[in-house]
Structure 1
Amino acid sequence: MKRTIRTTALTVGALIASLALPAGAARADATAPRIDLRVLVVSDGGPSTDAIAAELDASGTPYTKVDLQQSGRPVIDAGFLADTVDGRPRAKFQAVVLPNDNPFPAGSAEMAALSAYEQSYAIPQVDAYTYARPEAGLQYPVYGGYSGSLDGVQAQVTTAGKAGPFGYLDQAVPFEDNSPTVGESYAYLSTPAAGADFTPYVDAPIPGQSTRGSLVGEYRHDGRRELVVTFVYNQYQQQFRLLARGIVEWMTGGVHLGASRNYFAVHVDDVFAADDRWDTQLNCTPGDVDCSPGQGVPNPIRMTPADVDHATAWESSRNFTLDLAYNGAGSVDQREDNNGVDLLADKLIADRNRFRWINHTYTHAFLGCEQDTTVVPWKCSTNADGSTKWVGRNTISDEIANNRVWGQTAGLPLDTSELVTGEHSGLGVTPQQPQDNPNLAPALADNGVSWLGSDNSRDPQQRQVGPAVTVPRYPMNVFYNAGRAAEQVDEYNWIYTSRAQGGSGICEDHPDTSTCLPSPLDTSTGYTDYIVPLETRIDLGHVLSNDPKPHFIHQSNLAEDRIAYPVLDGVLNAYSGLFADNTPVVNLRMKDIGTELRRRAAWKTAVGAGQVTAYRIGNTVTVQAPAGVAVTATMPAGTTNGTGGFGSAYAGEVSGWTASAGAPLTLTLPSAAARMPAAVHRTVRAPATRTAPHTRVPSGVTRPTAYTPHS
């Protein structure tokens, strides 16, 4: 054993020499190393390294992935990790992510190379999911610790975590428990090993003990820093989503390309119009296409002035702005039927500056193919030659223009570049109309439309439609044809239960549907007890995923029982209980969301093509991207771009987009962040020679458990 350690130690010393940074050397600015802003992710195919890679992907942070299971993969050696550029030593990666504290065979030259690299350039290492053991700075769990499930357990950020990388959280880190029959978490809870320089950042109570065990902590040893994570996770689980930002900020020192924020926007469709109501006896919606012609009697749902008062009061209490997608003909029809009176429109127009407004077309007409509604489901009408009959360009253009003029006449604060067509019509809808109406794009051009709402459930990728770019919107499972909770539950039961239970059987025909019910919900309690918490969890998951896409509901959901508010409050209340005040929900309007998505796509393409370079030397960060591709980055507060400030404050840092003309962009870090962590080279020790033990991954992590309302 002594001989093995000695040989490895000599190897580390030789590697440090090959990395061109002699141990203990003073680093003047002229010889300070260049640290490229790129992360090395070494994966063994497990969900935890994949989750961190997904976080980097979503934020736009460049990384290189080495798959240990792949034949022909690159060998991690000194040349792979570092070289010299223009006479200056260069570290090719600012951080290293490993599956555990040592995924290599005992005495591995690759682990020795990584250890030497981290020592030489003060590069931090994340152990994505590792066993608690002295090599990771922790006691074995058998010594007063715990190994097992944390389903439903509430972990918390420690005082050190709050002062460090997880200061954007309030404190609580709840672990999901979506199914009582599926294991969704596994963890090793333990305390620091004797003599270890270990600081827990996130911990949880050790069952049967009065002490708490570390789940995430920093281990400092041998001139290296490791973030030791001792629980398993996937990219979708709430516990990871809460901690993902802090993991990235820890390993990059808060200096990296890419940015992450928590977004929530809610569009309310069909404002001024009325929505047809679900018939609980017919199991369809009289007046709409799911009922046969003449079946049932329409009984529309429309907001009242009191509903407007409730909406504005709610907005004020939540510091949140709703986006109202309106149909002007709804008010015109109301006045024609009521001797010129429309109290709802009068109230909304009086309060128009309390909301954002989106053109939703004048009559909410279907703008795709001409629909044949004599059959259920409807189909596209055809010409004599069998070709599809399309709604014409002039008809589409009139729907857009008439509604715009109506809104401008009413003084609505519109952005005329935004449009949501009725039912997202004009865009393809399967199975009846798999392609866009060819007349849609020219009509958008006629009216200067740049941003077009689409349904994320069927058209999730942002794409070009003539002059416009789509903005995918998440449909909330709060139905357009329900103003009362009992109606919502009845329709929910119809859709998501089996035929034998009186349902539609959709779950039998499509077993991958995620919201299927084992039995019908109680119509008096099912909404509050089941649907609201379920939809809250789903929507909060979007908010926590750095996903700016808006959600949409309908004006009917703000009327009568006002069934949208419990879900909206559920999302915002849960968020408020998890995040600190410096990390607010970002509430953007539609065109700004579209711009964010478009910038991300351009950035991702440029990064993937190797067209972006970025590095740090001392307190200066240099970034170069192609002309016209905006640069995204996260930096410490006080960072400057030339003579001006950079970005805007979020989660204790600054981040944002900066236009690029193709020339290098230079950012200067504040003096407090100017000193890079100093590597310690007093003694060069061997890395751990023992491979990390196998860790347990329950089925609920490898195959994510479907959302349920339970926590």
Structure 2
Amino acid sequence: MKRITRTSTLTVGALIAALALPAGAAHADTTAPRIDLRVLLVSDGGPSTEAIAAELDDAGTPYTEIDLSRSDRPTINAAFLADTVGGRPRAKFQAVVLPNDNPFAAGSAEMAALAAYEQTYAIPQVDAYTYARPEAGLQYPVAGGYSGSLDGVQAQVTAAGKAGPFGYLEGAVPFEDNSPTVPESYAYLSTPAAGADFTPYVDAPIPGTAKRGSLVGEYRHDGRRELVVTFVYNQYQEQFRLLARGIVEWMTGGVHLGASRNYFAVHVDDVFAADDRWDTQLNCTPGDVDCTNDSGTPNPIRMTSADVDYATAWQNSHHFTFDLVFNGSGSVDQREDNNGVDQLADKLVADRNQFRWVNHTYTHAFLGCEQDTTVVPWKCTTNPDGSTKWVSRNTISDEIANNRAWALASGLPLDSSELVTGEHSGLKVLPQQPDDNPNLAPALADNGVTWLASDSSRDPGQRRVGGAMTVPRYPMNVFYNAGHAAEEVDEYNWLYTSRAQGGSGVCEDNPATTTCLPAPLDTSTGYTGYIVPLETRIALGHVLSNDPKPHFIHQSNLSEDRIAYPVLNGVLDGYNALFADNTPVVNLRMKDIGTELQRRAAWQAALNAGQVTAYRIGSTVTIQAPAGVASSATLPTGTRLMGLTFGTPYAGEMSGWTPSIGLPLVLTLPETATKAPAAHAAHPAPATRPAPAVRVPAGVKQTASPTGH
């Protein structure tokens, strides 16, 4: 696995000094047009244009969407596309995205206006999903091409694609095939039309021939440039997620607001403690509050020193760091029960600098309401007046402070601003506790906690809790109470099969959120054959979606059969096979993830409020955001911000956050980025005829997790 490199961050003081220079000096040439850094996205409501919109949203790249189905939409004409500002011609959009090469009626004045606009200002156009035809630079598929499913096919980035917008990929672009009964893709494979200036960037074998057909390629004609995409996709499918970055970089020339990286962090909860084990006979977990038939023999799961050696070696081989989320009382209890011996703690303390450490409270106590566990499900106890009885501020504070004191005494390198409460307790949990414990926020403030973990499955958005911000975490469906694969599968079957098949029926009671398995999994093969591929696909989908939120597992999953590693290997080894060295996984600690989420929210709010101005004039890019809102941008390598290097390298470009004091940021692009590629005058007819209807199989509307688990 590749590790990201970092450069120094531009300080606010340096910005203030730099911004004392007059911004207008960079724009002495009054003839060069101003190109606003905003995308025009024309949508027909199909999955492909919506996928590109989702990519722009995730990155924080502004766009204006025109819905072709709305009768009250604005007309796309010369005035809509361009005007003059301060005597300088202005192009209002740096790129155009259309649902196909021509979504308008025959002889459309709007298509003519777009073509003239693209010619005048060298604006590129993306055809999000179009039929292969001469108007798009390709032969019709009937002329030795192919129309149909690509499920399970491995497409490939061409040499031109790797030298161009898809250079961040290793080469392979696998198409998903998650269900043998559901068609999930549809494509038109074809070769360039006679005389067309067309360069394939991604292609695949044409069945029954020795030829390869284009799936993504650049068509240059009549002073225009089009990125022609001839397969349908949605925002969740891996094939789109792999290519999304390149589509955006192509249409913006690598100069745009917003940024996208591939993040992965793994929190390992309950370290030093022991986790209760699933009982395959009782179908519950003895020791758990909801296991009332608690007649099982306690058989807890706890890591060993050998598990620590394995974790350290695994990290080193993958250039990755676990966040160990720990409960100090687990070690204290172990020593009390074993004449002062705790080999696990001794080993982890000795190897403490191999990991990152996060406070998980001292005893893993439930910190919300006081629980009444005499009923299933449990409920909150109440005071005589009927109000909820809450765990006290002092109790919460002691749990935080005592664990911190134990860590300091043990020599663990701890960041006191981070906290993960047991079961994310203290925060609201439905249906029993619809509100946060009112004593939580004061206790966090008492202990200087500013970043608090939450469960993304029930509290997905970052929010404020007093002076702290939450950091939503994705739960992996690798259960805390399973150390062996067979235990994991047995519990999985209980949760995800119907009553008629011997399961709990939870899945049939909640069809909106959970899908029942068609049949119970084999306990000897179900983990590697079904659960691991599914969990790998879900986690990798998060990684490829510019989503920094961490995933969490438990220390039990690194013990015994070490069942977490097949999933983690699937994510990281799978990623490594797909991406080039210049695009490593970014592995942040919790507070840095929280900061990233907070910056994104402020940036998106400023964009939505129309408070950000950004444009390019020749080799100069100017960005102005409100004071206190850091600006996000992606620019070519060699870009300078008032003489200083901009950003940090990722995927062949520079990107990052720049503090704002409310004044314009003036950036200078390298000479290699100042000239737009020429669009040759190829001879196939321009797209004056509307594109024919294209096939959209029902499968492309599914999410990345069709089972809903």
TM value normalised by structure 2: 0.94
Aligned pairs for 1:168-567 (under 5 A) are 168-292=168-292, 294-514=294-514, 516-567=516-567
Post-superposition CA distance 1:228-267 (Å, at most 9, x none): 0000011011110000000000000000000000000000
Identify if the C-alpha distance between structure 1 residues 679 and 86 changes in structure 2 by more than 3 Å, giving closer, same or farther: farther
Classify the secondary structure of the residue corresponding to 1:199.
strand
Alpha-carbon distance, 1:183 to partner: 1.3
**Counterparts of 1:545 and 1:415 in 2: how far apart (Å)?**
28
Query: Secondary structure, in 3 states, of the residue corresponding to 1:29?
Result: coil
Task: Tell me the residue number matched to 2:701.
Answer: 702
Q: Is contact 2:135–2:684 with CA below 8 Å preserved after alignment? A: no
Deviation at 1:502, TM superposition (A): 1.1
Distance 2:54 2:547 in 1: 13
1:511 Cα deviation after fit = 1.6
Structure 2 Cα separation of the partners of residues 290 and 190 of structure 1: 59
CA contact (8 A) 1:352 1:413 kept: yes
Report how far residue 637 of structure 1 moved.
0.6
CA contact (8 A) 2:541 2:704 kept: no
687-696 vs 483-492, which deviates more? 687-696
8 Å Cα contact 2:196-2:684 kept in structure 1: no
Match of 1:169, SS? coil
Distance 1:28 1:171 in 2: 43
**Alignment partner, residue 16 of structure 2:** none
Structure 2 CA distance for aligned equivalents of residues 473 and 597 of structure 1: 12
Partners in 2 of 1:221 and 1:293 — Cα distance? Answer: 74
- Structure 1 residue 434 displacement after superposition: 1.1
TM-score (norm 1): 0.94
Measured in 1, the distance between the counterparts of 2:596 and 2:155 equals 33
| CA distance, structure 2, for counterparts of residue 642 and residue 588 of structure 1 | 29
Structure 2 distance, partners of 1:706, 1:589, is 26
Amino acid at match of 2:521: L
User: How many Å separate the matches in 2 of 1:148 and 1:521?
Assistant: 32
Q: Post-superposition shift, 1:28?
A: 9.2
Report if aligned partners of 2:136, 2:687 keep a CA contact under 8 Å in 1: no
Shift of the alpha carbon at 1:152?
0.9
The superposition leaves residues 571-628 of structure 1 with CA deviations (integer Å, 9 ceiling, x where unpaired) of 1111011111110000000000000000000000000000001000011100000000
Structure 1: gaps spanning 5 or more residues = 1-26
Tell me which moved more, 215-224 or 177-186. 177-186
C-alpha distance in structure 1 between counterparts of 2:679 and 2:341, whole Å: 75
SS at match of 2:129: coil
Counterpart residue type for residue 296 of structure 2: G
Q: CA deviation at 1:405?
A: 1.1
* In 1, Cα distance between equivalents of 2:648 and 2:319: 19
Deviates more, 1:159-168 or 1:297-306: 297-306
Asked if structure 2 preserves the Cα contact closer than 8 Å seen for 1:514 and 1:707, the reply is: no
What value does the CA root-mean-square deviation take over the aligned residues? 1.6
| 2:10 alignment partner in structure 1 | none
TM-aligned CA deviation for residue 67 of structure 1: 0.5
SS of corresponding position for 1:471 = strand
Contact 1:218/1:225, CA 8 A, preserved across alignment: yes
In 2, Cα distance between equivalents of 1:499 and 1:65:
47
Q: Kindly provide the amino acid, as one letter, of the partner of residue 489 in structure 1.
A: V
State how 1:688-699 maps to structure 2 within 5 Å: 688-699=687-698
Residues 1:505 and 1:285: Cα distance change in structure 2 (over 3 Å): same
Distance across 1 between alignment mates of 2:679 and 2:138 = 22
Matched residue type, 1:700:
G
Corresponding residue for residue 114 of structure 1: 114
Partner of 1:599: 599
- Tell me how far apart the structure 1 counterparts of residues 264 and 507 of structure 2 sit (CA, whole Å): 29
- In the alignment, the residues of structure 2 paired with residue 609 and residue 241 of structure 1 have an alpha-carbon distance, to the nearest angstrom, of 28
8 Å contact from structure 1 (residues 327, 359) kept in 2: yes
Inter-partner Cα distance in structure 1 for 2:687 and 2:526: 55
The question of 1:648 aligning with 2:636 is answered: no
Distance 2:210 2:679 in 1: 37
Aligned residue identity for 1:543: V
3-state SS of 2:30 partner = helix
Could you tell me which amino acid in structure 1 is paired with residue 701 of structure 2? Answer: T
The range that moved more, 329-338 or 129-138, is 329-338
Distance of aligned partners of 1:567 and 1:679 in 2 relative to their CA distance in 1, 3 Å threshold: closer
Q: Show CA shifts across 1:426-471 (max 9, x none).
A: 0001111111001000000100101000000000000000010000
Partner amino acid, structure 2, of 1:349 = V
Which residue type is aligned with residue 247 of structure 2?
I
- C-alpha distance in 2, partners of 1:145/1:168? 28
- Offset of residue 684 of structure 1: 12
- Alpha-carbon distance, 1:525 to partner: 1.2
Q: For residues 519 and 98 of structure 1, what CA distance do their matches in structure 2 show?
A: 43
Quote the offset at 1:703 in angstroms.
Answer: 4.0
Deviates more, 1:171-180 or 1:421-430: 171-180
- Which residue of 1 is the match for residue 666 of structure 2? 666
Amino acid at match of 2:696: V
- Percent of matched pairs sharing the same residue: 82
SS at match of 2:493: helix
The separation in 2 between residues aligned to 1:576 and 1:707, in whole angstroms, is 25
Paired amino acid for 1:628: G
Aligned-partner Cα distance in 2 for 1:373–1:429:
15
- Map 1:575-586; keep pairs closer than 5 Å: 575-586=575-586
Question: Helix, strand or coil: the match of 2:296?
Answer: coil
Secondary structure of the structure 1 residue equivalent to 2:587: coil
Give secondary structure in 1 for the equivalent of 2:248: helix
Aligned partner of 1:22 in structure 2 is: none
Structure 2 Cα separation of the partners of residues 676 and 350 of structure 1: 56
Q: Does 1:68 align with 2:62?
A: no
Contact 1:133 1:140 survives alignment (8 Å): yes
Distance 2:310 2:160 in 1: 42
User: CA offset at residue 704 of structure 1?
Assistant: 4.0
Name the CA distance, whole Å, in 1 between partners of 2:366 and 2:497: 30
2:159 equivalent to 1:159? yes
Q: Is the 8 A contact 1:112 1:686 kept in 2?
A: no
Q: Distance in 2 between matches of 1:180 and 1:512?
A: 23
Alpha-carbon distance change, 143 to 200 in structure 1, aligned in 2, over 3 angstroms: same
Structure 1 residue 38 and structure 2 residue 38: aligned? yes
Structure 2: any 5+ residue segments left out of the alignment?
1-26
Residue by residue, what CA displacement relative to the aligned partner does 1:83-102 show, whole Å, maximum 9, x if unpaired? Answer: 01111110000000000000
Partner of 2:20: none
1:170 Cα deviation from its structure 2 partner: 0.6
* Cα-to-partner distance string for 1:357-384 (whole Å, 9 max, x where unaligned): 0000000000000011112211111111
How far 1:677 moved relative to its partner? 3.7
